[in-house]
Chain A
Amino acid sequence: METIFGISLDTYLIALATMAVVIVLIMAVITARQPLLVKLGARNFTRRKSQTVLIIIGLMLSTLIVSSALVTGDTVGQSITNRIYQSLGTIDVIVDPDQEQAAGVEFIDESDSESLRQALAQDQRVDGFSAILQIDIPAANQGERLSDPRAYLVGLDVDTQTGLEEMLEASGGGLARLSSLASNEVFISERLEKSLDLQVGEMVTLFVENTPYEFRVAEIVKDNGLTSKDQAGPGSKPGGGVIMPLSRALNLSNNEGPNIIVISVEGGNRNDLDMVGAVSEMTASKIETLGIPLEVVEDKKELAAIGSLVGSVFVAFFIIFGLFSIAAGLMLIFLTFVMLAAERRSEMGMARAVGMKRLHLTEMYIAEGMLYNVGSAMVGAALGVLVAWLMITLLGFIFASFGTQITLNVNPRALALAYLIGVVLTFVTVAISSWRAANLNIVRAIRDIPEPDLLAKTSGGLMELIRSTLSVIWGVFWLIPATGLVIALVIGTIWSLARISGDFGGEIATAASITVSIGLVLLLIVYVRKLAAYLYNRLKIFRLLFYPFVGMNNWSKAHRSSIGWAMWMLIFGVAGIYVGGWGENIGAPSWVGPQLWSYTGGTTLVMFAIGVIAVYFGAPARISFSTIGLLTVWLWLLPLPFSVIPWLPDEANGWVDPIDGILGLAGWGHGGITGDIEMFFVSGVAVTAASIFVVIYNSTVLLAPFNLARGALGGLMPAVRTAIAYPLANRFRTAMTLSMFTLVVFALVVMSILNHNFSAVFNGEEAQGGYDVAVIGNPANRIQDIDSALMTSPFMDQNLLQDGIAETASLRTATGYLEGSSGNSVATKDGFYKVQGMDSSFIETNSLKLVTRARGYANDSEVFSALATGTNFAIVDESRLQSGGGQWGPGPGDGVFEIEETLQGLDASNDEMGWDPIVFTLSDPFSGLETDIQIIGIISNTATTVRVEWSALFVGESLVDENFFGGYQDNFYVISTEGTDSIDLARGIESALLESGVQASSIAQEVEESASQSNAFSALFEGFTALGLIVGIAALGVIAFRTVAERRQQIGMLRAIGYRSRLIGVSFFLESTFISVTGILLGLGLGYGISYNLLTSEEFTEAGLETGFDVPWTRILIFIGLAFVTSSIMTLIPARSASRVPVAEALRYNG
């Protein structure tokens, strides 16, 4: 794995290492200049051990998540790459017949092959070249009555050069032995040896055109890309190979020539990929020069990159799912410092009063934070490996079914990266929270007077609003040139260093130079500032010159307030809405517009800004923020399943986007907006923030039932009173902790519900298409009629035949070329595609679901009736449509035909009655026979997940018979009778038709296997997200511990006036429980709402995901229950210690 989100890991590493060195330098300067402050900050690290442990647990989570994601990604990438290397062996470039040029010809002309061989012969880098034949052919061990329908006939050119020889070596021999094989001898690969239980010297039977041919096994060779099949469909294992010289294989199979050329580049298995890439390009260019109908289809460099790509995709997924936990972790860091600052507020006020600067306090907190930081990042990176190991164990089961073994691969670079990310992220958060902590009012701090509520600042009038808005922009404006100046200085210093040294000599030297440059620039800034201050105070001319700036700065500081920020939130929010919704009009970059994240994010910003502005102009804070919070949640949860605004037009109740709805009434609505997986995080953050505003500002109302139930609470009432009062009084702290819980529970609930419902759709009955057993025919031994084949087979269990089979149906497969008509109302792209000819039974018995139908077809059965009666109708699977927002499944590939429209677009392209049938000319590339067809329905991809051969153009069987000469393969589908085991039936059919080499499988079993794989993935991602709950739990623990310390004196007073020790413990416990329960309920409610809307949204239902809406309550309740119990245990410890505080000692306590 080399990249994440498209950026090289080395780039991340260098950038982070540079930042880490800068952090170390900052710490070194602080330690050297202010050792006492460092000592003061560090004392708490060892003084309160249990809290230190909790803080470290909370802080390490970001590192743990990144570390486990990277290690898992590395492991998966490495395992896939290994598999690719193992499979390809020394094969580096693969050449196939060019489908477009050869018009469907599947064989390579001997002269073409020879021309290419000659063209490459002079290239010293090429050390192997072989034209080979690889086709499916059934094999059997007649003696043992064992068969393998997945066997693979391999015909090898014995002139193959040395570079490919090692791929044939097993117990010795190789190519030399292959060329000297007797006419009745073959090599077999290890996989076939196992499946047929064959030994050297025994006989293997091959079935070609239903005729058995016997061969003696002369040698057993290793499985690899040359000797056996490497990939198989879902639910099947790849087959083993039967290897013989090419000429003999061609005679046996009646094929005209080889169907593949493999080329080896010097250097063996793991050779220089750049050289492979160069040879690949050179081969392609030679093919072009020679003008032969061949094409380079794959090379080792590209395939090896796939492993890396898959690894990167895993990392990206895990990091996106881990974002909730990372966000919660950062909030915990912030909260921890807010609490530390609150506890030491008066101490800090006094320190400031006696001359300590704000910077000193910040430095003190940074010193303390860095101690936690260094420890937690180290623990996090190490534990990340443990978590990765657990995930890989689970992934191992999934990958094993695809034939890939994965083993833990811990790359030191991944660990270093995770550690550095942890250190840098934590440092930034610590620095911000330290600055906030140090930013206190001395008098308020000393007298312990609460700071004013920033969000509740009342009106200073319109002028003050304008002044504040301007002052904020001055602050921001000041930052821009300042940042620019720093960057320019850094670049200038680096350039100077480069000039002095001549060359940096590698990435480490570059990083070191950048670090030195940043250090020098920071020093320069410090001294320039000092000098400027000195000159400003001493020299009138300086004062005169800079007075406007200094004056403006002072003015800006005096007027900067929440209302100014709110105004800018409003401005940026409106800009976000416009760019996100109408970005196309102004040519906005595609990452910002039209994009849902900027549209919905902008809307949310505007909402909050309106709240602050309303309060500024005198609206009660509670009403304003509650209304705004509710409106924001409402916006995100639209459409609601009930009418909420009866006075708006009827369509309003169906609005998902009221802004667009209202503007749309005037014809100003926006076009389509795209959104991706990032919306999961954006929606989570937005609804969590909005709902927490509502809860915090209405907690008294929400808690009214407790007050009403005072009588019922009896002796617990005093505990409830204090338990409720504290979280309500500490709004910021409560909101932060609530956010952590809510965010993570929200993510878990959404993921569980979506996974559960998607799994139900893609792995439910619909995926079976109405059949129980699939019988895939062998092109080399075609069966035209499965019923008679089974009836005449002496090996068919007659009971099974009579009582087990209810219906059979068949599909006849061909490859066709589709050319769209110019009269179509939607654009199409011409190309090849698989054609399935349905017999009348298939048309009648299948239960394939259509996601949309052309005009005139009211339901699926009308479409199938048309297919049964007319020869020019067709339906096609959904993958031929373009993917759009909300549509899932693979998109159209290259070189194949496609409909250049999304499902939503197709539906919207015409009136409500349906779209115009899409007209194509379908031709057979071999015969050139053509016919016009109309596509009248689109098959849901829920049915093509398991049976991949259903990703095709479905027409009537007669069309395939007439225009494609019956196609090249027959597939059969069996509906079993009630009570018949589909696995037994599949086994019986495969055994009966052994000589034909059919592959029969239970579709129900395949669906089940697919479901278990998908469930395992779900469990993996949910488990990973659930790691975030640890942050929430640790946060509750930190708060509870700190609270006990903070309220020691109050505990003493409560005990003095009659609170029994148990009551104190209960009060603390209830207080934490209030937060965890509220967070859990909020996350549950919001997650439920968002999931409901997603799954019942038009985009999803139109895409065929009519899932209904089912909630996996057991799974959700288990993790919620676990979270609650664990957090309760976590808070019981400090609650117990609170109850044991000695009264007199507590009363004397002064912090």
Chain B
Amino acid sequence: MTSEDRAAIIDVHNITKTYDTGSVSVQALRGVSVQVAKGEMVAVMGPSGCGKTTLLNCLSGIDDVSGGQIVIEGTDINEMSDDVKTIYRAQRMGFIFQFYNLLPVLSALENVELPLLVSGASPKDSREQAMKSLERVGLTDWATHKPAELSGGQRQRVTIARALVNDPAIVWADEPTGDLDSKTASDIMDLMQELNREQSQTFVIVTHDSSVAQRCDRTIHMNDGLIEREEVHAN
């Protein structure tokens, strides 16, 4: 299924992003337009510094754009206040980072239940949901362990469990396999694909790894702040 076949959950028009450090001005995005359909798994590839992570940050609302429009689930996120954007992220989005970004002082279970707690879910429900989410990624037995006691792959699974615990519409993943060996990376991709299929959640994955991109529905190739080309995969 291609993006044309489904309604766009992400609709981006000509966005630009300029970093101004005072002495230097860097144009990270120079007019990017893209649509992502609901349930689609999209990879964003390109050389270092091409603007992949900036694009992901802007689309997910954790960074502001300098120009253009981003419509997520029919709402222009530029028009949302910071608080509204934050709540929206908590309820409708999930994040997976290259370096896991788990809180080292909390157990796997506590890390996973954080998004639910900030969304206002009751502690009891949060705990149940978090356990289910950990079960989905196969880490029930490691629930009480802290990140330092887990392997890289296990940590990334916890991150995935955390990203999916609030049943988000969109999951943003920035180099999810970048810190893993190829076997573990493949397992993680299997897991994400499986969840994508089962839950019909939209995945936007920034990656350097072409094997990761190959397993997505579509790959967007970026260069120098622009989309160079798109590639659809028959998975």
Residues of chain A having any CB pair with chain B under 8 Å: 449-450, 707, 710-711, 714-715, 717-718, 721-722, 725-726, 728-730, 1049-1050, 1052-1061, 1063, 1142-1144, 1147-1148
B143 at the interface (CB under 8 A from A): no
The smallest beta-carbon distance between A186 and chain B, in angstroms, is 86
Residues 44 to 87 of chain B near chain A (Cβ within 8 Å) = 53-54, 57, 60, 62-63, 82-83, 86-87
The answer to whether A725 and B62 have CB atoms under 8 Å apart is no
The answer to whether A729 and B105 have CB atoms under 8 Å apart is yes
The residue on B at minimum CB distance from A717 is B117
Residues 102 to 123 of chain B near chain A (Cβ within 8 Å) = 103-106, 110, 114-115, 117-120, 122-123
The answer to whether B123 and A1143 have CB atoms under 8 Å apart is no
The residue on B at minimum CB distance from A708 is B123
The answer to whether A1144 and B63 have CB atoms under 8 Å apart is yes
The residue on B at minimum CB distance from A725 is B105
Interface residues of chain A: helix, strand, loop or mixed (majority) = helix
B162 at the interface (CB under 8 A from A): yes
B211 at the interface (CB under 8 A from A): no
B90 at the interface (CB under 8 A from A): yes
Distance, CA A707 to CA B86, complexed state (A): 25
Contact with B86, one of A710, A1058, A1148 (Cβ below 8 angstroms): A1058
Distance, CA A11 to CA B119, complexed state (A): 67
The smallest beta-carbon distance between B73 and chain A, in angstroms, is 16
The answer to whether B103 and A718 have CB atoms under 8 Å apart is no
The answer to whether A1055 and B122 have CB atoms under 8 Å apart is no
The smallest beta-carbon distance between A1060 and chain B, in angstroms, is 5
Contact with A1058, one of B57, B87, B97, B110 (Cβ below 8 angstroms): B87
Which B residues are in CB contact (< 8 Å) with A1058?
Answer: 86-87, 89-91, 115, 118-119
The answer to whether B118 and A1050 have CB atoms under 8 Å apart is no
Which A residues are in CB contact (< 8 Å) with B114?
Answer: 718, 721, 1054, 1057
Which A residues are in CB contact (< 8 Å) with B103?
Answer: 722, 725, 1050, 1053-1054
Contact with A1055, one of B86, B110, B148, B162 (Cβ below 8 angstroms): B86
The answer to whether A449 and B148 have CB atoms under 8 Å apart is yes
Question: 4 closest Cβ contacts across the A-B interface?
Answer: A1058-B90, A729-B105, A1144-B63, A1053-B101
Which B residues are in CB contact (< 8 Å) with A714?
Answer: 120
B203 at the interface (CB under 8 A from A): no
The answer to whether B83 and A1060 have CB atoms under 8 Å apart is yes
The smallest beta-carbon distance between B171 and chain A, in angstroms, is 12
Q: Given the interface contacts A1057-B114, A1147-B101, does A710 sit within 8 Å of B89 by beta carbon?
A: no
The answer to whether A1057 and B162 have CB atoms under 8 Å apart is yes
For the A-B complex with A1057-B95, A1060-B118 known, give 17 more contacts whose Cβ atoms are closer than 8 Å. Answer: A450-B148, A711-B123, A718-B114, A718-B117, A722-B105, A730-B105, A1049-B101, A1050-B101, A1052-B62, A1053-B97, A1055-B62, A1056-B62, A1056-B95, A1058-B86, A1061-B83, A1144-B57, A1147-B97
Distance, CA A1050 to CA B97, complexed state (A): 11
Which B residues are in CB contact (< 8 Å) with A1144?
Answer: 54, 57, 62-63
The smallest beta-carbon distance between A832 and chain B, in angstroms, is 73
Which A residues are in CB contact (< 8 Å) with B86?
Answer: 1055, 1058-1061
List 24 interface pairs A-B (beta carbons < 8 Å), by A numbering.
Answer: A450-B148, A707-B123, A710-B123, A711-B123, A714-B120, A721-B106, A721-B110, A721-B117, A722-B106, A726-B105, A1050-B101, A1053-B101, A1054-B114, A1057-B89, A1057-B115, A1058-B87, A1058-B91, A1059-B118, A1061-B82, A1061-B86, A1063-B118, A1144-B54, A1144-B62, A1147-B101
Which B residues are in CB contact (< 8 Å) with A1060?
Answer: 82-83, 86-87, 118
Which B residues are in CB contact (< 8 Å) with A1063?
Answer: 118
Residues of chain B having any CB pair with chain A under 8 Å: 53-54, 57, 60, 62-63, 82-83, 86-87, 89-91, 94-95, 97, 99, 101, 103-106, 110, 114-115, 117-120, 122-123, 148, 162
Distance, CA A1060 to CA B115, complexed state (A): 11
Distance, CA A1054 to CA B105, complexed state (A): 13
Which B residues are in CB contact (< 8 Å) with A1142?
Answer: 63
The residue on A at minimum CB distance from B117 is A718
Which B residues are in CB contact (< 8 Å) with A730?
Answer: 105
Distance, CA A1148 to CA B63, complexed state (A): 12
Which B residues are in CB contact (< 8 Å) with A1054?
Answer: 103, 114
The smallest beta-carbon distance between B66 and chain A, in angstroms, is 13
Which B residues are in CB contact (< 8 Å) with A1057?
Answer: 89-90, 94-95, 114-115, 118, 162
Which A residues are in CB contact (< 8 Å) with B62?
Answer: 1052, 1055-1056, 1143-1144, 1147
Which A residues are in CB contact (< 8 Å) with B60?
Answer: 1056
The residue on B at minimum CB distance from A450 is B148
The smallest beta-carbon distance between A451 and chain B, in angstroms, is 11
The residue on B at minimum CB distance from A1144 is B63
Which B residues are in CB contact (< 8 Å) with A721?
Answer: 106, 110, 114, 117
The smallest beta-carbon distance between A284 and chain B, in angstroms, is 76
Distance, CA A1143 to CA B99, complexed state (A): 16
The residue on B at minimum CB distance from A1145 is B63
Q: Given the interface contacts A450-B148, A1143-B63, does A718 sit within 8 Å of B118 by beta carbon?
A: yes
Distance, CA A707 to CA B123, complexed state (A): 9
The smallest beta-carbon distance between A738 and chain B, in angstroms, is 17
Which B residues are in CB contact (< 8 Å) with A729?
Answer: 104-105
The answer to whether A1053 and B95 have CB atoms under 8 Å apart is yes
Which B residues are in CB contact (< 8 Å) with A449?
Answer: 148
Which A residues are in CB contact (< 8 Å) with B148?
Answer: 449-450
Which B residues are in CB contact (< 8 Å) with A707?
Answer: 123
Distance, CA A241 to CA B70, complexed state (A): 98
Q: Given the interface contacts A718-B118, A1147-B97, does A725 sit within 8 Å of B106 by beta carbon?
A: yes
The smallest beta-carbon distance between B178 and chain A, in angstroms, is 14
The smallest beta-carbon distance between A441 and chain B, in angstroms, is 14
Which A residues are in CB contact (< 8 Å) with B97?
Answer: 1053, 1147
Which B residues are in CB contact (< 8 Å) with A1055?
Answer: 62, 86
Which B residues are in CB contact (< 8 Å) with A1049?
Answer: 99, 101
The smallest beta-carbon distance between B96 and chain A, in angstroms, is 11
Distance, CA A449 to CA B105, complexed state (A): 13
Distance, CA A722 to CA B148, complexed state (A): 17
The smallest beta-carbon distance between A598 and chain B, in angstroms, is 40
The smallest beta-carbon distance between A76 and chain B, in angstroms, is 51
Distance, CA A1057 to CA B119, complexed state (A): 10
Distance, CA A711 to CA B122, complexed state (A): 7
Distance, CA A722 to CA B115, complexed state (A): 13
Distance, CA A1063 to CA B60, complexed state (A): 20
Distance, CA A1061 to CA B53, complexed state (A): 22
The residue on A at minimum CB distance from B118 is A1058
Contact with B89, one of A717, A726, A1052, A1056 (Cβ below 8 angstroms): A1056
Which A residues are in CB contact (< 8 Å) with B94?
Answer: 1057
The smallest beta-carbon distance between B25 and chain A, in angstroms, is 16
Distance, CA A717 to CA B125, complexed state (A): 14
Which A residues are in CB contact (< 8 Å) with B90?
Answer: 1057-1059
Distance, CA A1050 to CA B117, complexed state (A): 17
Which B residues are in CB contact (< 8 Å) with A711?
Answer: 122-123
The smallest beta-carbon distance between B106 and chain A, in angstroms, is 5
The answer to whether B104 and A1147 have CB atoms under 8 Å apart is no
Instruction: Select the residue from A715, A730, A1049, A1060 with max chain B CB neighbours within 10 A.
Output: A1060
Distance, CA A123 to CA B91, complexed state (A): 103
Which A residues are in CB contact (< 8 Å) with B99?
Answer: 1049
Distance, CA A450 to CA B123, complexed state (A): 29
Distance, CA A725 to CA B117, complexed state (A): 15
Which A residues are in CB contact (< 8 Å) with B83?
Answer: 1060-1061
The answer to whether A725 and B63 have CB atoms under 8 Å apart is no
Which B residues are in CB contact (< 8 Å) with A1059?
Answer: 86, 90, 118
Which A residues are in CB contact (< 8 Å) with B117?
Answer: 717-718, 721
Instruction: Select the residue from A714, A725, A1143, A1148 with max chain B CB neighbours within 10 A.
Output: A1143
The residue on B at minimum CB distance from A716 is B117
The smallest beta-carbon distance between A991 and chain B, in angstroms, is 78
Which A residues are in CB contact (< 8 Å) with B101?
Answer: 1049-1050, 1052-1053, 1147
The residue on A at minimum CB distance from B90 is A1058
The smallest beta-carbon distance between A1008 and chain B, in angstroms, is 56
The smallest beta-carbon distance between A137 and chain B, in angstroms, is 81
